[in-house]
Structures are given as structure tokens and as C-alpha cells.
Amino acid sequence: MAAMTSAPVSVNARAPTAGATLFATSLAPMFMAMQAAAFELTGNWRIAFLLPSLLAALGTLWLIYDFGRRQWNHRVGLWAALAVLAGLTLAGAASANDA
């Protein structure tokens, strides 16, 4: 197991914690399950931490594209997904620069 520099996460599935903080109050259980599955697949904590967020973002873009395509046409779906992607990218860059 790789050495971790942050607070250890417990393996108790009913009440996962990081140090003394309960994850059940701050993170969705499905997100943690996806991180555990990603770690089992990759063996790398950094990738396991980022992979569920990436998959959720790609899923969101796909759903927006699909909604626009079904309601109007392919072009509207593509432009809607690109607009959301630009908004998410801008928001991510802004929050990264706030630190």
C-alpha cells in the first residue's frame, strides 16, 4: 500500500472517516465507492481520486448533448455541450486561481 501524507481513510463502509471527520456528512457514498473501485483498477491514489470526477463531468456533457440532440438537432446538442464545457473550464480555472 502506498504511503499517504493526508489523514488516513478508514475502511469501515458504514461510517467512513478521514481522521475524526465523517465522510458521510461531506461526500456522497457513491463517490467514495467509485474512488475505491478506481484505486483497485489503477493502484494509484492520484488517478483514483480524479477519475470519478472526470467520468461524472464527461457523463454530464454527454447528457446535455443527448438532450439537445433529442429536443432539437445534433448541432444544438453539440453547442450546448460545448457551452457547458467552456463554463466548467472557466469555473475550474477561476477556482484554481483563487488560492
Banded pLDDT at 29 (limits 50, 70, 90): confident
- CA 58, distance to chain mean position in Å, is 9
How does 63-78 read in b/e, with b if 16+ C-beta sit within 10 Å?
A: ebbeebbeeeeeeebe
The pLDDT of residue 32 is 81
Higher pLDDT, 76 or 95: 76
The pLDDT of residue 57 is 87
Instruction: Write down the pTM of the prediction.
Output: 0.64
Cβ-contact 31, 52 below 8 angstroms: yes
| Residues 24-30, mean pLDDT to the nearest whole number | 64
Residue 80, number of CB atoms within 10 A of its CB: 19
Contacts of 46 (CB under 8 A, 6+ apart): none
The pLDDT of residue 60 is 92
Structure confidence by residue, pLDDT tens digits, 42-92: 999 999 988 988 888 899 999 999 999 999 999 999 999 999 999 988 777
